[in-house]
Amino acid sequence: METGKRRAAGRPRGFDPDAALERALLVFWEHGYEGASLATLTEAMGISTTSMYATFGNKEELFRKALERYTEGPSAYVARALEEPTAFDVATAIIAGTIRTTTRPAGPHGCLGVQGALATGDAGRGARDLLVDWRDDGYSTLRDRFGQAVDDGDLPPEADPAVLARYLTALAYGIAVQAASGVDRAELQEMADAALRAWPLT
């Protein structure tokens, strides 16, 4: 069975799936899962509902793929931050990235992982659970990174990685909520600078 990139038989697609997914991501980001209707999504994507279902499955699958794209795109600063040499640098990079991403001048304000589906009805339960897992993954990864910092002697032995990770995620989510409310980027950065002056918490 040939699995090369040779063009498959049949009529070729008339649109770029990546570009369409990017548009869908922006709609979900701005309006949330429940607030983004199929009509709004497909209009922004420039395709018909038929093409959307054929390419992405259904609304929930589209959201799942948009979240993946978000993680590897606008939210990629998280993975990069984890590779910073010290726990303080990690924390600084996480917060700086959060502020930058949640207050982009030409883009939705806030964080998809927070406002995408925080409280929903039955129809949005799948998306809500998906984001709960997404946030939990971020917390766990951060906690493990701070645990490593304790082992390395970068953080003092009495530092609690779980507490530090909860604190930093809480700060990031709080920034995301305020960004969604329209709070200015400079004001958030000034607040974050003050908060990180007390790092690490004991």
Partner DNA sequence: CACGTTCCGCATCGATCGATACAAAAACGG
Partner DNA sequence: CCGTTTTTGTATCGATCGATGCGGAACGTG
Length reported for the chain: 202
Choose which of 2, 3, 14, 106 interacts with DNA (CB under 7 A): 14
The span from the CA of 118 to the CA of 27, in Å, is: 16
Residue 125 engages DNA in binding (rule: CB under 7 A): no
Give the SS3 label for residue 1: coil
Task: Identify which of residues 6 and 197 has a Cβ nearer to DNA in the complex.
Answer: 6
Nearer to a copy of itself, 93 or 159 (CB): 159
Residue selected from 1, 4, 9, 153 as contacting DNA according to rule CB under 7 A:
9
Q: Tokens at residue 147, please? A: 């645990």
Rounded distance between C-alpha atoms, residue 48 and residue 51, angstroms: 5
Say whether residue 55 binds DNA (CB under 7 A): yes
| 31 binds a copy of itself per the rule CB under 8 A | yes
Calpha distance 98→173 (Å, rounded): 9
> 40: burial class by Cβ within 10 Å (0-12, 13-18, 19+)?
middle
> Considering only 1-9, 64-72, 95-103, 182-190, which stretch makes contact with DNA by CB under 7 A?
1-9
Residue 39, SS3 per DSSP = helix
- The site map against a copy of itself for 105-144 (x = CB under 8 A) is ---x-x---xxx-xxxx-xx-------x--xx--------
From a copy of itself, DNA, none, interface partner of 201 (C-beta below 5 to 8 A by class): a copy of itself
Binding interface with a copy of itself (CB under 8 A): 29-32, 34-37, 40, 108, 110, 114-116, 118-121, 123-124, 132, 135-136, 160, 162-163, 166-167, 169-178, 180-183, 187-188, 190-191, 194-195, 197-198, 201-202
Binding interface with DNA (CB under 7 A): 6-15, 36-40, 47-51, 53-55, 58-60, 121, 123
